[in-house]
Structure 1
């Protein structure tokens, strides 16, 4: 099984704007978590300029699917995003 790190670069007013889309975003994240694809995720703080989500999947398209469905992306709260395969060497695999 492969691991992927999805990184969002968030817009400056992310904290002010996320409320309208937060419930839908968290429901999407919970759906991917229940499917065993999303392991963990959240925004970085001080400053809240990025978010990181860790996925476990054989195919990167599962992560791409999350991005396409995410209301944060659809509604312009994410300035850009990046998916990187992550070679885990220590921890739960």
Structure 2
């Protein structure tokens, strides 16, 4: 999971090729990486897509971005994504 998150962050911050070398499990997602609001949305959507989880934004809090480790712990509490995000609408 950690490697996927690092890959996603590096893809979003492609203007910072040195980013991969400075990332660690204790890296703060907001303060150390400096994602702007659009990049944060891209990050969350890519995490959902690539890690096959549904982020519960009612449960999500700023504190979950304290570090990559903290974010991964939050993600482990999220539900796995069903085959279709809109399956319940189709019924």
Q: Fold match, TM over 0.5?
A: no
Higher relative contact order (CA 8 A, sep 6+): 1
Q: Which has the higher helix share?
A: 2
Question: Which is higher, the Rg of structure 1 or of structure 2?
Answer: 2
Q: Which has the higher strand share?
A: 1
Q: Give the TM interval when normalised to the shorter protein.
A: 0.3 to 0.5
